[in-house]
């Protein structure tokens, strides 16, 4: 079965406030939603003729799926900045699924990366989340709908993902608002990225979108 590795940016993140006795230190718990259901992504692809987005259907993710994965909590999809991990439901990364999406929480480790993540989230410099997953871009796992924007004249294609095969990370990201031709990078760029990494990520997402479009047309 053809699987594509994909990145999706959607959630929000904050530091949990602590309701405790006087003298207790500040909370180190970071929590938020890594995945939001039925929420169109930023454009994955846009040119003069078409704009492409995706969204995650609620049936695509279950607790059983999450419990079968060892999800790493990272910063900007960099596994070297490990903050927590789920270890198939037995680790330091906690999560649950509700009608809104997938909520997570973890205590920031007493490491340089943990302190950095905590400070950036507290300051509001990082306030978003993303996740890395794999799926098959074929019906019925993925469906698509294309409409025409009367104002721009562009075709607007929305892919809905109904089945996810695996989830590899939740990641903290500043969630920048990418301009039209840069949105294919979504949140693949790190806080201090190397130019060649950005280019490689953009090309990878571009190829993924082309595969999505081709697979969807073939399966119709």
- The residue among 135 and 25 whose pLDDT is bigger is 135
Q: CA 98, 101, 105 angle in degrees (round to 5)?
A: 85
Residue 209 pLDDT? 53
* For residue 12, pLDDT beyond 80: no
> Residues, the chain, total?
220
Residue 89 pLDDT? 95
Range of 5-19, 101-115, 126-140 with top mean pLDDT: 101-115
pTM over 0.85: no
Residue 190 pLDDT? 29
The DSSP 8-state label assigned to residue 71 in this structure reads P
Average pLDDT over residues 88-109: 95
User: Mind listing the pLDDT tens digit for each residue in 134-184?
Assistant: 988 788 999 999 999 999 999 999 999 999 999 999 989 886 322 221 212
Nearest CA to 107 out of 92, 120, 95 is that of 92
Contact yes or no for 66/95 (Cβ under 8 A): yes
* Residues 6+ positions from 197 with CB-CB distance below 8 Å: 189, 190
Peptide bond into 140 cis (omega under 30): yes
Residue 85 pLDDT? 97
| C-alpha distances in Å from residue 84, one per residue of 44, 87, 91, 131 | 28, 9, 8, 14
Average pLDDT over residues 85-95: 97
Strand order in the sheet with 84-85: 84-85, 72-75, 166-173, 128-135, 4-15, 29-36, 101-107, 94-97
Strand-pairing partners, residue 72, are 85, 169
What is the chain's mean pLDDT, rounded? 78
Contact yes or no for 173/126 (Cβ under 8 A): yes
């Amino acid at each position: 079965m053809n699987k594509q590795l994909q990145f999706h940016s959607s959630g929000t993140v904050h530091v949990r406030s602590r309701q405790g006795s006087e003298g207790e230190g500040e909370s180190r718990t970071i929590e938020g939603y890594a995945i939001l259901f039925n929420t169109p992504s930023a454009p994955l692809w846009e040119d003069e003729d078409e704009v492409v987005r995706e969204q995650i259907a609620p049936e695509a993710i279950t607790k059983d799926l999450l419990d079968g994965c060892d999800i790493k909590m990272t910063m900007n999809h960099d596994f070297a900045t490990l903050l927590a991990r789920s270890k198939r439901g037995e680790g330091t990364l906690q999560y649950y699924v509700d009608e809104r999406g997938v909520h997570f929480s973890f205590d920031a480790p007493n490491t340089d990366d943990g302190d950095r993540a905590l400070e950036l989230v507290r300051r509001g410099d990082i306030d978003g989340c993303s996740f890395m997953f794999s799926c098959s871009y074929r019906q019925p796992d993925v469906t698509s709908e294309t409409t025409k924007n009367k104002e721009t004249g562009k075709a607007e294609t929305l892919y809905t993902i109904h089945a996810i095969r695996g989830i590899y990370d939740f990641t903290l990201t500043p969630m920048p608002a990418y301009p039209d031709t840069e949105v294919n990078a979504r949140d693949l760029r790190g806080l201090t990225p190397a130019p060649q990494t950005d280019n490689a990520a953009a090309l990878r997402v571009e190829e993924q979108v082309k595969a999505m479009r081709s697979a969807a047309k073939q399966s119709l």
